Amino acid sequence: MTLSPRVPDLAALDVMVSVARLGSMSAAGREHGLSQQAVSARIRAAERDIGLRVFDRTSSGVVLTPEGVAVLEWAGNVLGAAEKFATGVQSLLREENASLTVAASMTVAEHLLPGWIVLMRARFPDVRTQMRLMNSAEVAHHVLAGRADIGFVEGPQIPDGLGICVVATDELVVVVPPQHPWVSRESITVDELAATALVQRELGSGSRTTYESTVHPTVPPLLELNSVTAIKSAVVTANAPTVLSSLAVAADLRDGRLTRIDAVTMPRELCAVWDLREPLRGPRRDFLDIATSQRT
């Protein structure tokens, strides 16, 4: 359907209806916050589009022409439909804004996301924020599939089709129990680390991907677990090394439960991701703003 050039814009129709109701361009101008000259210009433009004279100008104001009576009746119907349209859209926006599903990788979910959710709740109490915990590969998949509104990943490999924004920086560190032989050494080589079976996160996790792309291990993991807590427990039980986020082991290093080993620098960026096919606005934009404002 191609819109006829005889249809003026809605703003002009709205002003025209006000002039007819109030009988004065100056009064309509006050109602719309426009000068009398601006109102007159809109009326002239609308009359040119319609192709009919809608008002007769008199010394005491304006009056509708016979044709204008019919035009104003139709204009009222058009504006009524426009108001119904705007109300419906606003209702959809409120429904959309009522909830936000956030998918996050382990490190972000455990150490950063809770604080962001608290701030989101304080600033936007009407938005229900739901968190889904998964590895980075699953986060990207959920966002692209529309099952999460925004995601947070820690891996260096981010699929096409996602918008990306760095929200924090982190570092992977090699840690062992205090009784491990590496503790007595100043450092270990990258080759030695690569040839050692580690307790590791599962495939698809950001930590695992970053470690493998940096070190290129030559042996399979000793164990594969999908929980940081389980990994730390296994490390102590098996007296084995692991590679975890500095955020995840900060308390353990401070309390002496684990010891950091100098081997290789593994910095990384923690990123927010979203579907580029959808505009970044509403709660998603608000939540991203909170995350970036707390950037660490």
**Average pLDDT over every residue of 72-101:** 76
Average pLDDT of the chain, as a whole number? 89
Percentage of the residues of the chain whose pLDDT score is greater than 70: 95
Res 93 pLDDT > 70: no
pTM over 0.75: no
pLDDT at 227: 86
**Average pLDDT over every residue of 74-85:** 86
**Average pLDDT over every residue of 188-195:** 95
Backbone angles phi, psi at 275, to 5 degrees: -75, 120
Residue type, 200: Q
Res 235 pLDDT > 70: yes
Residue type, 140: A
Contacts of 290-295 with CB under 8 Å at 24 or more apart are: 290/116, 290/119, 290/120, 290/123, 291/112, 291/116, 291/152, 291/167, 292/165, 292/167, 294/112, 294/115, 294/116, 294/119, 294/167, 295/166, 295/167, 295/168
DSSP reduced 3-state for 60:
coil
Beta-ladder partners of 174 = 243, 261
Residue type, 147: R
C-alpha distance from residue 99 to each of 131, 133, 156, 163 (Å): 11, 17, 29, 21
pLDDT at 267: 92
pLDDT confidence of 92, banded at 50, 70, 90?
A: low
Which is it for strands 162-176 and 150-153: parallel, antiparallel or unpaired? unpaired
Is there a contact between 232 and 249 (Cβ–Cβ < 8 Å)?
yes
Q: Which is nearest to 196 in space by CA: 211, 178, 179?
A: 211
